[in-house]
Amino acid sequence: MKFLLNKLSDIDAVAQKFVDNMGNRNIFAFYGEMGAGKTTFIKALCKTLGVAETITSPTFAIINEYNKEDGDPIYHFDFYRIKNIEEAYDFGYEDYFYSGHLCFIEWPELVEPLLPESVVKVQIVVMDNGGRSIIVD
């Protein structure tokens, strides 16, 4: 599946299409170079899912928790700053990944051996025109 985001003003519509196609999948790993828009797209997804609180990058905290309208949590990870995979064990990644709740993961390359088989890989590619191609595996 592929979504095209030609301009930032279209992000809410693209996020809605993405959410409409999530099905019952709950672990999403976002790949893309620095500045590709991983955090920006995850913010739009959370907004579409009814998160009312401020959505920020968990770069230093590693994980942020938000609540959807129905009260269910969304876990947002950013593994960019971890030094080794043991750090993921230290904060109990399993409790989150296997909770049945939505998990949005930035920089999953750093913890790939820990990702569940059911993970949905999402590649965000910067296009020549400055837009983004969002490819769902």
Average pLDDT over residues 85-100: 93
pLDDT > 70 fraction of the chain, expressed in percent and rounded:
100
Given pLDDT bands bounded at 50, 70 and 90, which one contains residue 60?
confident
* Angstrom distances, CA of residue 41 to CA of 56, 89, 91, 106, 121: 11, 27, 25, 11, 14
Domains assigned to the chain = 2-136 (3.40.50.300)
The residue length of the chain stands at 137
Q: What's this model's pTM, rounded to 2 decimal places?
A: 0.94
Q: Does residue 101 register a pLDDT over 90?
A: yes
pLDDT in tens, 9-55: 999 999 999 999 999 999 999 999 999 999 999 999 999 999 999 88
Q: Give every CB contact of residue 6 below 8 A, 6+ residues apart in sequence.
A: 129, 131
Bridging pattern class, strands 27-31 and 2-5:
unpaired
